[in-house]
């Protein structure tokens, strides 16, 4: 651990074996806390933890073996994580929402998720989807697998069946599924299309690639044979700025009419970042999370 990042209890300082460093890192949100104090030991393991992030103090049970989980793959391109800007009072982690980190272990699901690429102080829709909608309505803890990468799609051969990001998403999701006995795969949350819209793809081109990928995920991911898949629409004002972008938006919005057990997160009325309209604002990302839930639950 880095000096000054964590403060452990006296027992841990006297006997470092008491300090379950890996478990501590797994429990804490991905945002580095100002300080963390572990206390209340049982069988040489911490049982309670207090931590402070952005000046706000939190206390909770120290659980290094949570689950089993309902597992979601969160994939696509940068609108999965680029909403500006992070708000510590709104974009909080939750005790029942975890993620599968790139180190191959469970970590808390703070913003931003550990996608293939990510940007500090930005947010996506998936944590809010799980924290504010899925867990309260379903009552099961969630494990998110962040697999999105900015500026990628089908047009550049990153997300077609067999491409590198597709294979990475499948492999990491299957690893997450195997991490706990009783894990259940519950769906794919997909947000992508800008790459093809910029490339001038036709609706038919995007339909062919998207539908093949959905079928591929269902065949390759453990327990996903009839999994729910929700695709999100692109920023409406950005789509409206060029007629060549609408065919891809149509391919996305019409997915439920083509592919069984799919939904569409309708972005009507949502806004992009001023001066960077291709990306949703943080406020729109939070609203989009509810749209994903409506499409998922429907």
Give the count of alpha carbons within 13 A of 35, CB side only: 8
Q: Which residues pair with 262 in a beta bridge?
A: 229
Q: How far apart are CA 173 and CA 164, in angstroms?
A: 14
* Same domain, yes or no: 44 and 190: no
* Same domain, yes or no: 34 and 86: no
Q: Which domain holds residue 15?
A: 11-61
Q: Is residue 5 part of a domain?
A: no
Number of domains observed in the structure of the chain = 2
pLDDT of residue 58: 52
Q: Is residue 86 part of a domain?
A: yes
* Same domain, yes or no: 38 and 103: no
pLDDT tens digit sequence for 198-213:
999 999 999 999 999 9
The predicted model gives 210-234 an average pLDDT of: 98
pLDDT of residue 56: 53
Compare 26 and 14 and report the one with higher pLDDT: 26
Give ∠ CA 51-121-287 in degrees, rounded to 5: 100
Compare 21 and 166 and report the one with higher pLDDT: 166
* Same domain, yes or no: 163 and 260: yes
* Same domain, yes or no: 47 and 148: no
Give exposure, 213-244, as e/b (b: 16+ Cβ within 10 Å). bbebbbebbbebeebbbbbbbbbbebbeeeee
Q: How far apart are CA 29 and CA 16, in angstroms?
A: 22
pLDDT of residue 57: 52
Distances (CA, A) of 68 to 17, 105, 118, 236, 288: 27, 14, 27, 38, 27
Average pLDDT, the chain: 84
pLDDT tens digit sequence for 66-83:
789 999 999 999 999 999
Q: How far apart are CA 52 and CA 58, in angstroms?
A: 6
Task: Check which CATH number belongs to the domain holding 130 and give it.
Answer: 3.40.50.1110
* Same domain, yes or no: 25 and 172: no
Contacts of 120 (CB under 8 A, 6+ apart): 112
Q: Is residue 216 part of a domain?
A: yes
Predicted model pTM: 0.81
pLDDT of residue 77: 97
Nearest Cα residue to 263 out of 287, 218, 293: 293
Helices assigned H by DSSP within the chain: 10-14, 21-27, 126-128, 135-138, 164-177, 194-199, 203-220, 236-240, 246-253, 255-258, 282-297
At residue 117, does pLDDT exceed 80?
A: yes
pLDDT of residue 94: 79
Q: How far apart are CA 292 and CA 280, in angstroms?
A: 14
Q: How far apart are CA 255 and CA 274, in angstroms?
A: 29
Q: How far apart are CA 129 and CA 290, in angstroms?
A: 6
* Same domain, yes or no: 186 and 237: yes
* Same domain, yes or no: 260 and 136: yes
At residue 165, does pLDDT exceed 60?
A: yes
| 203-220 vs 164-177: helix crossing angle, rounded to 10 | 30
Q: Is residue 4 part of a domain?
A: no
Q: How far apart are CA 252 and CA 166, in angstroms?
A: 18
Q: Is residue 1 part of a domain?
A: no
Tokens coding 29: 């949100």
* Same domain, yes or no: 132 and 180: yes
* Same domain, yes or no: 150 and 230: yes
Q: Is residue 186 part of a domain?
A: yes
Q: Is residue 3 part of a domain?
A: no
Contacts of 128 (CB under 8 A, 6+ apart): 91, 285, 286, 289, 290
What single-letter DSSP state applies at residue 115? -
Sign of CA dihedral 232, 238, 239, 245: negative
* Same domain, yes or no: 118 and 20: no
* Same domain, yes or no: 38 and 181: no
pLDDT tens digit sequence for 26-63:
444 444 444 444 444 444 444 455 555 455 555 554 44
Instruction: Say which residue the tokens 């708000």 belong to.
Output: 87
């Amino acid at each position: 651990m880095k000096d000054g990042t964590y403060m452990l209890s006296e027992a841990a300082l006297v006997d470092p074996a008491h300090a379950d460093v890996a478990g501590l890192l797994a429990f804490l949100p991905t945002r580095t806390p100002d300080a963390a104090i572990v206390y209340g030991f049982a069988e040489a393991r911490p049982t309670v933890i207090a931590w402070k992030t952005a000046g706000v103090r939190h206390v909770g049970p120290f659980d290094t073996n949570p689950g089993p989980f309902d597992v979601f793959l969160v994939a696509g391109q940068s609108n999965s994580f680029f909403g500006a800007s992070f708000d510590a009072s709104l974009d909080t982690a939750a005790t029942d929402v975890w993620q599968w980190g790139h180190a191959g272990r469970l970590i808390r699901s703070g913003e931003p998720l550990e996608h293939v690429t990510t940007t500090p102080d930005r947010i996506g829709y998936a944590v809010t989807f799980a924290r504010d909608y899925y867990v309260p309505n379903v009552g099961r803890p969630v494990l998110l697998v962040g697999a999105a990468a900015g500026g990628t799609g089908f047009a550049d051969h990153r997300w077609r069946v067999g491409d590198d990001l597709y294979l990475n998403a499948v492999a990491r999701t299957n690893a997450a599924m195997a991490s706990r006995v009783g894990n259940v795969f519950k769906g794919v949350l997909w947000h992508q299309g800008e790459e093809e819209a910029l490339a001038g793809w036709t609706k038919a081109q995007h339909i062919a690639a998207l539908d093949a990928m959905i079928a591929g995920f269902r065949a390759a991911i453990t327990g996903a044979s009839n999994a729910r898949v929700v695709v999100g629409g692109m920023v409406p004002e950005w789509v409206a700025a060029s007629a060549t972008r609408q065919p891809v938006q149509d391919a996305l919005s019409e997915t439920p009419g083509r592919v069984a057990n799919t939904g569409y997160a309708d972005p009507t009325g949502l806004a992009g970042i001023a001066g960077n309209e291709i990306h949703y604002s943080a406020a729109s990302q939070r609203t989009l999370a509810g749209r994903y839930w409506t499409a998922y639950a429907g």
